[in-house]
Amino acid sequence: MSVLFVQNGSLSERGCMSMADIERVSIVIPAYNPDEQLLELVWKLNRESFDDIIIVNDGSSAACASIFDTLDHISGCTVLRHEQNGGKGKALKTAFSHYVQAHPDGIGMITADADGQHRPEDIRKTAEELVEQPESMILGVRDFSGEDIPLRSRFGNVLTKFVVKAASGMKLTDTQTGLRGIPAAFAKELLEVKGDGYEFEMRMIMACRTYKRSIAEVTIETIYMDGNESSHFHPILDSIKIYYVFLRFLFSSLASFVVDVSLFAVFSMVFKALMPMGFIILSTVLARVLSSLFNYFVNRHVVFRSKQYPARTMVKYYSLAAVQMGASAGGVYALYHATGGHEVPIKIAVDSLLFLLSFYIQRNWVFKREASYIGREVNHY
């Protein structure tokens, strides 16, 4: 899985682009209760030679009717309508479905927001990169280092970058950008990905690993209108939806961790007086065997929902558990004798460091066929 970063301006500056190529790229704009910014954006896109613009009215109020009526009469604009608000993911999939049927020979689409946060120049830059890499998803990435970035946007991006890095190993600059290039073939695949709200945008990134598509990034200007107040993203609710699969794994691991540490504390009290030099290793082994049984069954049935014959995953799981157990016991043993005590706090510290490594290995090896990428789980929700 590769993530490429495009520098030194747009590809048109490198002499690689023709007008015919750009005309084979459509623009998709999901819109819920938009203002005049949407009309201005569409007119500017027309001047950038985009002659196929798909607008989705996602159940907007009657007060916005005049805006969509105007869009209906703009050359090259297609307005698709939802009777009720279904969420950004549903709006995007409505546009993808329309595009797949209407443009069988198209290169792909550029998704953009309706609130004026994406400049036409940046939309074109993203389109040019999609033409250059028609099998990759393109992300128009923003700079979050400025002091004028709204707190919830900065926090949301940091959090989602961490989750994507932990879940996939991909280091992305901007996971929440709405400016994306979607290859035509990928649009068909995304129709099978579940999710109707903002979580769908995260699942699009996850799906790149599932469908073996690379991701490229292009830099765009960072624009927030009125502190990003127009955004319909709800940080708490939508974040829960975005991180649902990862949170299941986290809670499973935390529960197993509590079981493991509790058993370790009990076994330590029992064996410490009987065998002062060896109680740490024995306590670690017994606690890990019992807690790993608990963790295996929770991960198999709740987190990854494996349908594979259990013997195969169990052999892999316990091979991993044996290695982790050795690392945990060795680390705790060495630190205990180096510090002269405090075995339980040391145990907590060592196993915390091993947690992330365990996630990578379970995702990529133990449960690979069921969740070769944690994003495959999007098809269940």
Q: In what order do the strands lie in the sheet containing 77-82?
A: 3-6, 215-219, 137-141, 180-183, 108-111, 25-31, 53-58, 77-82
Q: Which two tokens stand for residue 272?
A: 């410490």
Whether pLDDT at 26 is above 80: yes
Q: What does the radius of gyration of the chain's CA atoms come to, in whole angstroms?
A: 25
What confidence score (pLDDT) does residue 240 get?
60
For 104, the enclosing helix (H) or strand (E) is none
Whether residue 73 contacts residue 38, with contact meaning beta carbons closer than 8 Å, is answered with no
Among the ranges given (13-22, 108-117, 329-338), the one the predictor scored with the smallest mean pLDDT: 13-22
**Comparing C-alpha atoms, which of 304, 96, 280 is closest to residue 187?**
96
pTM of the predicted protein model: 0.66
| Cα–Cα dist 349/332, whole Å | 9
Each residue's pLDDT tens digit, 308-339 = 778 889 999 999 988 988 999 899 999 888 98
What confidence score (pLDDT) does residue 152 get?
60
**Comparing C-alpha atoms, which of 297, 299, 293, 288 is closest to residue 365?**
299
Neighbours of 208 (CB within 10 A): 23
What confidence score (pLDDT) does residue 185 get?
96
What confidence score (pLDDT) does residue 261 get?
93
Higher pLDDT, 206 or 133: 133
Q: What is the mean pLDDT of the chain?
A: 83
What confidence score (pLDDT) does residue 230 get?
47
Q: pLDDT band at 373, cuts 50/70/90?
A: very low
For 118, the enclosing helix (H) or strand (E) is none
For 109, the enclosing helix (H) or strand (E) is strand 108-111
Count of H-run helices and E-run strands, the chain: 14, 8
Q: Which two tokens stand for residue 227?
A: 């502190």
What confidence score (pLDDT) does residue 187 get?
96
DSSP label of 322: H
Whether residue 254 contacts residue 299, with contact meaning beta carbons closer than 8 Å, is answered with no
Whether residue 115 contacts residue 101, with contact meaning beta carbons closer than 8 Å, is answered with no
3-class SS letters over 20-79: HHHHCEEEEEEECCCCHHHHHHHHHHHHCCCCCEEEEEECCCHHHHHHHHHHHCCCCEEE
Based on the number of CB atoms within 10 Å of its own CB, is 261 exposed (0-12), middle (13-18) or buried (19 or more)?
Answer: middle
Kindly state the percentage of the chain with pLDDT values over 90.
Answer: 46
Which residues are within 8 A (CB) of 121 and not within 5 positions of it... i.e. 6 or more apart?
48
Most confident of 92-106, 208-222, 285-299, 315-329: 92-106
Tell me phi and psi for residue 204, to 5 degrees. -60, -40
Among the ranges given (46-55, 165-174, 264-273, 334-343), the one the predictor scored with the smallest mean pLDDT: 165-174
What confidence score (pLDDT) does residue 199 get?
81
